[in-house]
Amino acid sequence: MATMELLVNIVAKIFPEFSLMWLAEETKRNLPLELDFINEAHNTERVRRMFSHFPWLQVPEIHWDLTTRRVMTMQFCEGGQVNDKPYMEKNGISAMEVSSRLGQLYSEMIFVQGYVHCDPHPGNLLVRQGSQGPTLVLLDHGLYTELTDQFRLQYANLWLALIRRDLESLQYWGNQLGVSGELYKILSCIVSGRSWTSITRGIDRQKHTKAEGSEIKEFASQHFPLISQILGMVPRQMLLIFKTNDLLRGIESSLGTRGAARSFITMSRCCVRAVYEDQLKHCANWWSRMVVVVRACFAQSAITVYQTYLWFRTKPLVGRLFRSANTA
């Protein structure tokens, strides 16, 4: 750890435009937690209770009598890696359903519970066919971040602005998260993993393409000092969210489901739920509570209408009618 701090300081001296001290600070804070198996066991138990309402999620049980700070013993769980498409095809597992359930789990983690498993790489996520469709197995609970309510709501509002293409709100919530001026555009690209062009056109309508991926990589290589500056400006809890998002996008790319409209619907529902549940906490009387409930119902109904529209578009005959209407 001391070596890493030394190297970061040397880089900062030679290249002052690179601000990487946040990386050393975050690693220093999180590494001891990942190496403490008692901490990991407690995280495992907590997340199992928290998401027990998902019948398709399995979190291994801990054998406490065989667990210490240096050794953890837990239940053996079967399954293939979540990005193993041949395994999924062989076992009749729907990649789209796996992606949808993974999105549902992480949307609730981030926007509703504020307790996030930050290492969802394929080795930590298994999948197998269950009685109710795909069963997800979540492993390795050493690295979690606990979001403050303030950050959780700011982040939820930022995502709602992204999905709605509300540029004024995007700038406002970017500023609330510590990123001022026109830098909110780059922050929006980092958060969504999409180009600014796709954001302004609607990320729920523009599929992610290889060309867009190449454009993003080129932009990142050319503006790394600026991106590094933004990473140093945002709240520390956002850094692990960025890492988590990147890992989830990697899984979606492997499954061929990245940018699917279903994922935005799930995310929108959790964002709306988070925002309106917070408003209910601050209502002074029954009338204001009723107003908030009505607004929340209206927002969820609007999402349902859009979901129904998307469902109709997937039907061959209706889809052709929609396309004909759009080209007319």
3-state secondary structure of 25: helix
pLDDT tens-digit map of 256-305: 887 666 778 888 899 999 999 998 988 989 999 999 899 889 888 888 88
Asked if residue 151 lies in contact with residue 235, where contact means CB atoms within 8 angstroms, the answer is yes
Count of CB atoms situated within 10 Å of the CB of 135: 22
Q: What pLDDT, on the 0 to 100 scale, is given for residue 18?
A: 53
Q: Is residue 14 part of a domain?
A: yes
Q: What domain count does the chain have?
A: 1
Q: Is residue 207 part of a domain?
A: no
- CA dist 1 and 182 (Å) reads 35
Q: Is residue 205 part of a domain?
A: no
Q: What pLDDT, on the 0 to 100 scale, is given for residue 206?
A: 76
Q: What pLDDT, on the 0 to 100 scale, is given for residue 204?
A: 79
Give φ, ψ of 121 to 5 degrees.
Answer: -80, 165
Asked if residue 61 lies in contact with residue 75, where contact means CB atoms within 8 angstroms, the answer is yes
Q: Is residue 174 part of a domain?
A: no
Q: What pLDDT, on the 0 to 100 scale, is given for residue 302?
A: 82
Q: Is residue 29 part of a domain?
A: yes
List of residues 6+ apart from 32 with CB closer than 8 A? none
- CA dist 202 and 303 (Å) reads 15
Q: What is the mean pLDDT of each run of 10 residues along the chain (328 residues)?
A: 54 53 63 81 96 96 95 95 94 94 95 95 95 95 93 95 93 95 94 92 83 90 87 90 92 84 82 91 90 88 77 59 52
Q: Is residue 328 part of a domain?
A: no
In Å, the largest CA–CA distance within the chain is 69
Name the residue type at position 268: S
Q: Which of 65, 119, 149, 166 is catalytic?
A: 119
Q: What pLDDT, on the 0 to 100 scale, is given for residue 81?
A: 96
DSSP, res 110: I
Provide the b/e sequence for 97-108 (b: ≥16 CB within 10 Å). bbbbbbbbbbbb
* Radius of gyration of the chain measured on its C-alpha atoms: 21
- CA dist 100 and 113 (Å) reads 18
Task: Residue 295: name the closest of 278, 315, 317 by CA.
Answer: 278
Q: Is residue 299 part of a domain?
A: no
Q: Which domain holds residue 7?
A: 2-34
pTM of the model: 0.84
- CA dist 29 and 42 (Å) reads 18
pLDDT tens-digit map of 96-143: 999 999 999 999 999 999 999 999 999 999 999 998 899 999 999 998
Name residue, tokens 């900062």. Answer: 12
DSSP, res 109: I
Name residue, tokens 């922050």. Answer: 187
Asked if residue 73 lies in contact with residue 67, where contact means CB atoms within 8 angstroms, the answer is yes
Count of CB atoms situated within 10 Å of the CB of 283: 14
For residue 146, the surrounding DSSP H or E stretch is strand 144-146
User: Would you call 140 a catalytic residue per the annotation?
Assistant: no
Name residue, tokens 């929006």. Answer: 188
- CA dist 109 and 97 (Å) reads 18
List of residues 6+ apart from 143 with CB closer than 8 A? 30, 33, 34, 117, 118, 119, 240
